[in-house]
Amino acid sequence: MAKLGLDKIIVRRLVPEDRPLLRLWLNDPAVRQALEDETLDFSKIPETMALFESSDPFCDGALGLMVEVMGRPIGLIHFAWLNWINRNAEVIVLVGPGELRHSLGAAVVVEKIGHVAFRMLNLHKIYAFVYASNQDALSVFRKLMTEEARLHNYVKSSQGYGNLHCFGLLAGEYFAAMEKIKGRHICA
């Protein structure tokens, strides 16, 4: 994975210049299939981009971030429904170019979610919801988060109804995993 330059990862706020790239990602057939239950209205992409860019975690409870490796955007992290009282949030993740969805790149994006959630925002827990049809995402989330629930036949798609998998990750679980993976002590 040296060619990805994983040691040079940055997470930054979204800017208007990211719109063409995000539109390209959202027009990817695999992404459209994963989102075909209309959680994202594709006719309102400009409004969605503006929401990602202008979100303020302390005012509207949302935050849009871009993950880059050596200047190459590889993922979008959107913290939605930030709850400052209970210190939790729902996370929406989009891993960019298709080849990264089958690689360590996806795991890196998920690791950065934990970094931002637990180190920068001081959250206690994050949640992610994954459609059963999105096998790549299920594979990554099953390795890095705890599957807390499965809603059977919950999401309508062109093939009928599919399951929705609910994943959770506590701050303590994240710090323990990072200590194990990176072999160093991390204070929670």
Residue ranges per domain, the chain? Answer: 2-182
Pairing of strands 146-157, 63-69: unpaired
Task: Please tell me the distance from the alpha carbon of residue 141 to that of residue 167, in angstroms, as a whole number.
Answer: 7
Nearest residue to 18 via CA among 85, 75, 98, 103: 75
What integer pLDDT is reported at residue 45 of this predicted model? 64
The answer to whether 61 touches 83, Cβ cutoff 8 Å, is yes
- Homologous superfamily (CATH) of 2-182 is Gcn5-related N-acetyltransferase (GNAT) (3.40.630.30)
What integer pLDDT is reported at residue 127 of this predicted model? 93
Q: Is the pLDDT of residue 2 over 60?
A: no
Name which of 97-101, 120-124, 149-153, 174-178 the model is least confident about: 97-101
Residues 46-80: pLDDT tens digits? 676 666 666 666 666 778 888 887 777 777 888 88
Q: Is the pLDDT of residue 169 over 70?
A: yes
What integer pLDDT is reported at residue 19 of this predicted model? 77
**Secondary structure (3-state) at 174:** helix
Q: Is the pLDDT of residue 188 over 50?
A: no
Residues 80-123: pLDDT tens digits? 888 889 999 998 877 766 666 666 666 777 788 888 999 999 99
43-81 burial code (b ≥16 CB/10 A, e <16): eeeeebbebbbebebeeebbbbbbbbbeeebbbbbbbbe
Q: Is 39 exposed, middle or buried (0-12, 13-18, 19+ CB in 10 A)?
A: exposed
User: What is the percentage of the chain residues whose pLDDT exceeds 90?
Assistant: 18
What integer pLDDT is reported at residue 75 of this predicted model? 78
What integer pLDDT is reported at residue 1 of this predicted model? 38
Q: How far is CA 127 from the centre of its chain?
A: 10
Q: Which residue spans within the chain are E strands per DSSP?
A: 9-13, 63-69, 72-83, 88-95, 125-131, 146-157, 160-170
What integer pLDDT is reported at residue 16 of this predicted model? 75
